[in-house]
Amino acid sequence: MNMRFFLYLILLVIFSSCCDTHVEVTYEYEDVVIKRVDECGISTFYYGEISNNSPRVWATYSGINDGFSGYLVFGENQKVMILSGDGYFQSENIDSDKLEYNRISYEDVALGKGVYYIMLATNVEKERNVNTVSGVKVDYMD
């Protein structure tokens, strides 16, 4: 009985420790704002404000070799597309005039004006976008 309790305690510590993460990132391009919130196992991209009513797309993940990567593409008429070939994405309250998600092949996208590389590991995301001319202003709040 003690061994079972010990294993339960260890599993509880392991699973609760991953949920201590909370990262917020703000991407802004020509008066359009996408807010990203990373919490244990989920990254949510909100169009505008963080709200239950905002158009949003989220990626869920678990494990060491899981996550997401892709691109934010700020287009005309304040529309943003989230393009990804990696990750399990879902959406809610989508207004296709403002926010869309599409799966892509990575060869289809090039970094440039209004295009920003995104991924679960924000430190790699920062490095990948350092010398681009995207014009996207990003604020990483850990």
Mean pLDDT of the chain, nearest integer: 85
The residues with which 36 forms a beta bridge, in sequence order, are 25, 45
**Mean pLDDT lowest for which of 55-59, 77-81, 106-110, 131-135?**
106-110
Percent of the chain with pLDDT over 90: 56
CB atoms within 10 A of CB 43: 23
pLDDT at 79: 96
pLDDT at 7: 56
The rounded distance, in Å, linking the Cα atoms of 118 and 89 is: 13
pLDDT at 127: 94
3-class DSSP state for residue 2? helix
Q: What is the pTM of this model?
A: 0.82
Q: Whose structure tokens read 């202003």? A: 137
pLDDT at 100: 93
Residue 126 confidence class, pLDDT cut points 50, 70, 90? very high
80 CA to centre of own chain: 13
pLDDT at 142: 66
pLDDT at 16: 46
**Mean pLDDT lowest for which of 31-35, 48-52, 82-86?**
82-86
Domain ranges in the chain? 21-141
pLDDT tens by residue, 6-30: 555 454 444 444 555 789 999 999 9
Distances (CA, A) of 141 to 21, 22, 24, 112: 12, 9, 5, 24
For residues 47 and 3, the answer to whether their CB atoms sit within 8 Å is no
pLDDT at 66: 78
More confident residue, 86 or 107: 86
